[in-house]
Amino acid sequence: MNLVKVKNHEEMSENACRIIMNKVSSLSSPVLGLATGSTPERLYELLIKEYERKSITFSHVTTFNLDEYVGLGETHSNSYRYFMDHHLFKKIDIPKSRTHVPNGTGGDLKRECHYYEELIENVGGIDLQILGLGLNGHIGFNEPGTPFSAKTHIVDLDFSTRKANARFFRSVKEVPTQAITMGIETILRSKQILLLVSGEQKSEALQRLLDGEVSEEFPASVLRNHPNVTIIADAAAVGMPG
């Protein structure tokens, strides 16, 4: 794992933006894995700026998001499809048909999981996967205890995760109890992984990732088994003065 320490959230986002721009401009049909949440928000703003400056096009890019809440459709403002549409996709030139977020509202969710895996395989896998880090070490919505062999699946969300995400809802009760997520195996099949970590509240999790053992009890630890992982962490997350 390659650890890049940066000053703050802004520098983390700028670094990530450069890495994505290089990937997008160097491949003829790049496939990006994307995350939602607070961590990549600024990164997406920077990508939009680069697009507006005409220094990048996304017309040839395919994307797969990590996860989606069960029960929230694309018009629900807390669905991850809505988040991606409004924070990135509608503001760049990516064809909507090439943006993928698991569908958490279909009748047969298990089938949706298989279908999602197939879609990823059919485009030759993910070239660059962006990840954020959960306080309990989750990546995607793979909560502690998820087998490393899991593919895209339906997950019961930890109360701690629902509480952490309650800031986007009126109350924790409104946060869905289930989600669809790419599995650990799905994530590990990505050719390159970029983990973004920002803020003091993530420092314990980051420390455990860097120094702890590889264990299903701490899902992010599996990244130590992947040959091409870059972590960009800001000073607060690393536990250093900014």
Q: Which residues bind ligand F6R (CB under 6 A)?
A: 35-39, 66-67, 132-134, 138-141
* Cα–Cα separations (whole angstroms), residue 153 to 11, 15, 25, 174: 34, 31, 32, 22
26 Cβ contact list (under 8 Å, min separation 6) = none
For the question of residue 45 being annotated catalytic, the response is: no
Q: State the CB neighbour count (10 A cutoff) for residue 109.
A: 17
Shortest reach from residue 55's CB to ligand F6R, in Å: 26
The end-to-end CA distance of the chain, in Å, is 22
Residue whose structure tokens are 């130590």: 224
Our CB check for ligand F6R shows the closer of 36 and 152 to be: 36
Instruction: Considering the candidates 15, 143, 153, 234, report the single residue annotated as catalytic.
Output: 143
Our CB check for ligand F6R shows the closer of 60 and 185 to be: 185
Our CB check for ligand F6R shows the closer of 57 and 230 to be: 230
For the question of residue 86 being annotated catalytic, the response is: no
For the question of residue 14 being annotated catalytic, the response is: no
Shortest reach from residue 235's CB to ligand F6R, in Å: 17
Our CB check for ligand F6R shows the closer of 140 and 176 to be: 140
The residue with its CB nearest to ligand F6R is 132
Instruction: Considering the candidates 50, 67, 112, 234, report the single residue annotated as catalytic.
Output: 67
Instruction: Considering the candidates 9, 87, 100, 138, report the single residue annotated as catalytic.
Output: 138
CA torsion 128→130→111→184, rounded to 10°?
Answer: 90
Instruction: Considering the candidates 15, 68, 117, 136, report the single residue annotated as catalytic.
Output: 136
For the question of residue 87 being annotated catalytic, the response is: no
Shortest reach from residue 196's CB to ligand F6R, in Å: 8
Sheet holding 31-34, edge to edge: 2-6, 229-234, 192-197, 128-132, 31-34, 62-65, 99-100
Distance CA(188)–CA(133), nearest Å, equals: 15
CB hemisphere CA count around 172 (13 angstroms): 8
Shortest reach from residue 143's CB to ligand F6R, in Å: 10
Per DSSP, 92 falls in state: S
Tokens of 30: 């790049």
Our CB check for ligand F6R shows the closer of 38 and 57 to be: 38
* C-alpha gyration radius of the chain: 17
Shortest reach from residue 78's CB to ligand F6R, in Å: 12
| Residues noted as catalytic | 67, 136, 138, 143
